[in-house]
Amino acid sequence: MNNMIHEECGVLGIFRKDAGPLARLAYDGLFALQHRGQESCGIVLNDDGLFYSHKDLGLVGEVFSKDVLKRFPQGNMAVGHVRYGTTGALNRANCQPVEVNHQKGKLAIAHNGNLSNAWELRNALEMRGAIFHGTSDTEIIAYLITQERLRCRDIETAVAAAAGRLEGAFSLVVMSAAKMIAVRDPHGFRPLCYGMRPDHTYVIASESCALESVGARFIRDVAPGELIVWDNDGIRCQVLPGSDIRRSRCIFEYIYFARPDSVIDGISVHEARKQAGRILAETSPAEADLVIGVPDSGLDAALGYSAASRIPYGIGLIKNKYIGRTFIVPGQDERMNAVHLKLNPVKNAVNGKRIILIDDSIVRGTTSGQIVSMLRAAGAKEIHMRISSPPFLHPCYYGTDIDSEDNLIANHHTVDQIKEIIGADSLAYLPVERLYQLSGTEEICDACFSGNYPTQKPVHSSKERFDRRLSERYNKE
Ligand code: SF4
């Protein structure tokens, strides 16, 4: 139950040759991607070259009321986005999709990921007079595509040329007046896939769960380094220059970020989590009576641990489904109780038992400590905590908000010390060298666990990097 690490965004694109009621379809798709971003959302709909948009802070169900959806006309393309801002302050200027009107037409862009060369790119653009409204990396991408569009023969050539100047993570959906384009960076950090509805509407989404929610059949993942175009002439694919590099798919998508009913690059997220549980049972066995998982992402791993260890699986913690982003903890003193409001132990299940408790990760240790103490209060005799990821030691630069080593308990404590801090009887993590067995390939990014970054580290990486720079400048003027 990691409430401290967030995925940045979810993206969605819809293309069909004739006009249809796409706003509702986009709404349904974004609803299925809500777990990837809860701070803001937006839809831009294309009705024969005219763009209609609505974006705001809030959840999909809050921002898109029935009245708002009704105001959208029919259209033949749409781009959607849900955002948790890993870079850029929480404000409307950073809501996506980003829209651009330029000399040759218009664009709407939705982006998932973070660039590792954003600082250099933005500096260079600003030195040539570029004006930015917000502080997200997506505006930089929009600028580069627009610059390239002014000298390239078509939008897909412009997007490919701009992509060649980006480093880091970008899964993009780009809509022009007549074309829909999907691009995934050559490392393949963030997922992106597409499918088709029976009425020949194509749907592109960050995760396959969103395709199913709009009645589309999964066709395939967008390959790392691939650019795909949909227009009235059909579908065309091309490989981005410089794509013959080692892939670095984010392994934490499988452990925590993605929905368990999604399939990423051919691997079921649910199965990957069960596999993590099986590995933990093999590498860190313990004598116990019951295996329980911390909802939601610890549950699948607990199933795997139980199956491999033959220790019965049970439901030991119940999550309050109605606590959302808008829940306000009344004050500092009450903050310690926040975990109790989200989770409650099932006393009958845990009382008098030796428990294996599985969670996806430990960030600061506060939440884990509270869960352990609430299980003890409910009568658990022993608590053996098993974590379905290795210890978090390093920040992530590719689209999540693990941005400071100071916040990572494992960075300055040993496993034994963490065990004492959280009050467990034993503690063990998934071995970092076994991570690849979750995704079935060694071509993964595990930098936040291993420190092996697949790209150059960014010059500045903090979440507020551009906000701080702006305020420094304003203070001088
Ligand atoms: Fe994923 Fe960690 Fe790599 Fe970031 S550093 S992309 S969270 S594996």
What one-character-per-residue DSSP string does 242-308 give? T--S---EEHHIIIIIS-TT-EETTEEHHHHHHHHHHHHHHHS----SEEEE-TTTTHHHHHHHHHH
Q: Is the CB of 400 under 6 A from ligand 1?
A: yes
* Out of 128-142, 157-171, 274-288, 301-315, least confident range: 128-142
pLDDT tens digit sequence for 195-247: 999 999 999 999 999 999 999 999 999 999 999 999 999 999 999 988 888 99
pLDDT tens digit sequence for 354-366: 999 999 999 989 8
Q: Is the CB of 408 under 6 A from ligand 1?
A: no
Q: Is the CB of 358 under 6 A from ligand 1?
A: no
Specify whether the backbone of 195 is left (phi greater than 0), alpha (psi in -120 to 50) or beta.
Answer: beta
Which residue has the CA at smallest separation from atom 1 of ligand 1?
250
Which residue has the CA at smallest separation from atom 2 of ligand 1?
448
Considering the entire predicted model, what is its pTM? Answer: 0.92
* Cα–ligand 1 centroid distance for 174 (angstroms): 24
Is 9 marked active-site?
yes
Q: Is the pLDDT at 147 greater than 90, yes or no?
A: yes
Atom number in ligand 1 closest to CA 444: 8
What is the distance between the alpha carbons of residues 370 and 376, in angstroms, rounded to a whole number? 10
* Cα–ligand 1 centroid distance for 156 (angstroms): 28
Span 26-51, average pLDDT: 96
- What does R_g of the chain's alpha carbons equal in angstroms? 23
* Cα–ligand 1 centroid distance for 398 (angstroms): 6
* Cα–ligand 1 centroid distance for 381 (angstroms): 36
Q: Is the CB of 189 under 6 A from ligand 1?
A: yes
Q: Is the CB of 445 under 6 A from ligand 1?
A: yes
Q: Is the CB of 455 under 6 A from ligand 1?
A: no
Beta strand 290-293 with 354-359 is parallel
Contact 118, 108 (CB under 8 A): no
Q: Is the pLDDT at 385 greater than 90, yes or no?
A: yes
- Straight-line distance from the first to the last Cα atom of the chain, in angstroms, rounded to the nearest whole number: 45
* Cα–ligand 1 centroid distance for 399 (angstroms): 8
